[in-house]
Amino acid sequence: MGKIDYRISRQMQLDLRDAYIKVYSSCWSQQEAYEKMVKQPAPRYYVTAKQAYQIISPMIKGDFGKLNKMKPAKQRLYLSLFEATKELIIKPTFFKKSLWFIMHFAVTQPAPEFFIGEERARQIRRWVMSGVLGNDGKVDDTKINCYAKTRETKRKQRERKRNGLRTKCNEK
């Protein structure tokens, strides 16, 4: 598919934060806040024009093979982007323009939702809070490995505790 454009990734983090701030005061639980947050309208589609072109171009020709191999959230994203692209194509401004040219405008159109799951939104929030994602939006591999190991260790400790086995924490 291609590498993530970190400028888009950082913008998505900021937009998710804004969506969370917008909905959290009206929610009874954090779970409900995440559910509402990911369904909020997004200011844009968080894919590059190149990524969109690679998927939408075959779809315009009637080939939905690449789309059928994707997860449901990505399918919804590209189907929505496909509809937005079709609307742009029929506008007089874009008459006889190439699809490559149109895709640069299509991805900047407002999206009906963020097209990510609640778990992915939670993960992004945890990464931001733990410092794994920096201000530049790039993932610090050293921190993510440490973060993953810490979470794995804690999970194993909880399992051992549930099973009545001794852990380093409760060996005293």
* 43 plus 77 within the same structural domain: yes
139 Rama class: left (phi>0) / alpha (psi -120 to 50) / beta: beta
Give the pLDDT score at 24. 81
* 171 plus 104 within the same structural domain: no
CA distance 105 to 107: 6
Give the pLDDT score at 43. 92
* 125 plus 166 within the same structural domain: no
User: Is residue 133 scored above 70 in pLDDT?
Assistant: no
In sequence order, the 6+-apart residues with CB closer than 8 A to the CB of 98 are none
User: In sequence order, what E strands does the chain have?
Assistant: none
Residue 108: φ, ψ to 5°: -90, 0
Give the pLDDT score at 132. 56
Give the pLDDT score at 18. 83
* 27 plus 57 within the same structural domain: yes
Domain extent, residue 172, equals: 140-172
What's the pLDDT band for 111 if we cut at 50, 70, 90? very high
* 159 found inside a domain: yes
* 1 found inside a domain: no
* 41 plus 104 within the same structural domain: yes
Give the pLDDT score at 170. 46
CA distance 120 to 126: 10
* 97 plus 164 within the same structural domain: no
Structure-token pair, residue 63: 């080939």
List, for residues 3-54, the tens digit of each pLDDT value.
Answer: 555 566 778 878 887 888 888 888 888 778 888 888 889 999 999 999 999 9
* 64 plus 124 within the same structural domain: yes
Give the pLDDT score at 56. 94
* 117 plus 166 within the same structural domain: no
* 128 plus 159 within the same structural domain: no
Total domains present in the chain:
2
Give the pLDDT score at 1. 42
List, for residues 64-103, the tens digit of each pLDDT value.
Answer: 999 899 988 889 999 999 999 999 999 999 988 999 999 9
